[in-house]
């Protein structure tokens, strides 16, 4: 009788504590306090290891740019729920941000093959560019540009000053292709691509900076 009563009391205490953490989580999300939300989720997970809580915690770590913590949780989610493409994609992006480009390419190749998403094709192209696999990078940029849905999908682009911009993935792909042509000293084609990117998204600081650099390089070539 004493053992059963103890178990019942412990169960009630856990349920009450879990409800308490849920209330903290709800309040934290309402005011966009990610640190408090992360703390609350750790409390919930200590009582309930449901994979959905870990997936949400991974998302919060990712939004805070805590990529290693986000990766550990995303990988656990993928192991238990292989069909969770979002978690798999998050893991791939974490590897990319952590400089593990070969692993990122491997992940993005698998995700892009399944989803056909221009977002993941662009991310694959970026990872390939980091490895100087330029032909593959350019090919995937062309696939993104040809996709009629690419202009409606956003991707976070980090500018040279460290600021972030949400850019249509079609503009981001044109900018990346332009960088490849600029490095090959095909300045005319690079300028065209940078201008195309700016036509799609006139506030695109990265493309604007690249266009100026490309036009400057063209001027220097003419003076030689």
Does 214 map to a domain? yes
What pLDDT score does 224 carry?
Answer: 63
DSSP state of 152: G
Report yes or no: 105 and 89 within 8 Å, Cβ to Cβ.
Answer: no
* Assigned domain for 70 exists: no
Question: Among 162, 157, 163, which Cα is nearest to 179's?
Answer: 157
Tens of pLDDT, residue by residue over 54-113, are: 999 999 999 999 999 999 999 999 999 998 999 999 999 999 999 999 999 999 999 999
Q: Tell me, what's the pLDDT at 8? A: 47
Prediction pTM value: 0.86
Residue 12: the pLDDT is: 56
Query: 48: which 2 tokens?
Result: 């309930």
Q: What's the CA gap between 53 and 46, in Å, rounded?
A: 10
Q: Please report whether residue 57 resides in a domain.
A: no
- The answer as to whether 145 is a domain residue is yes
Let me know if residue 22 belongs to a domain.
no
Q: What is the per-residue pLDDT for 219?
A: 83
Residue 184 and residue 178: Cα distance in Å, rounded? 10
User: How many distinct structural domains can be found in the chain?
Assistant: 1
Q: Which residue range is the domain that position 191 belongs to?
A: 118-224
What's residue 125's pLDDT?
Answer: 98
Length of the chain: 224
Give me the pLDDT at residue 78, please: 95
User: What is the pLDDT at residue 139?
Assistant: 97
| pLDDT confidence of residue 174 | 98
User: Which CATH number do you get for residue 215?
Assistant: 1.25.40.10
Q: What pLDDT is attached to residue 5?
A: 45
Is residue 79 domain-resident?
no
Pick out the chain residues at pLDDT < 70.
Answer: 1-13, 224
């Amino acid at each position: 009788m004493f053992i059963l009563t103890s178990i019942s009391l412990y169960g009630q205490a856990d349920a009450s504590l879990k409800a308490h953490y849920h209330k903290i989580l709800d309040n934290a999300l309402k005011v966009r306090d990610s640190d408090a939300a992360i703390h609350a989720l750790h409390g919930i997970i200590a009582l309930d290891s449901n994979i959905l809580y870990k997936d949400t915690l991974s998302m919060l770590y990712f939004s805070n740019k805590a990529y290693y913590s986000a990766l550990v949780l995303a990988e656990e989610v993928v192991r238990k729920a292989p069909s969770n493409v979002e978690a798999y994609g998050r893991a791939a992006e974490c590897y990319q941000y952590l400089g593990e480009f070969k692993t990122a390419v491997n992940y993005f190749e698998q995700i892009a093959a399944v989803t056909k998403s221009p977002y993941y094709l662009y991310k694959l192209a970026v990872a390939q560019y980091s490895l100087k696999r330029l032909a593959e990078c350019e090919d995937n940029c062309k696939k993104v540009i040809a996709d009629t849905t690419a202009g409606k999908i956003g991707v976070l682009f980090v500018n040279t000053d460290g600021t972030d911009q949400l850019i249509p993935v079609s503009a981001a792909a044109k900018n990346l292709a332009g960088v490849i042509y600029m490095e090959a000293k095909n300045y005319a084609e690079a300028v065209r691509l940078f201008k195309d990117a700016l036509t799609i998204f006139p506030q695109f600081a990265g493309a604007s900076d690249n266009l100026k650099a490309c036009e400057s390089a063209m001027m220097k070539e003419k003076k030689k």
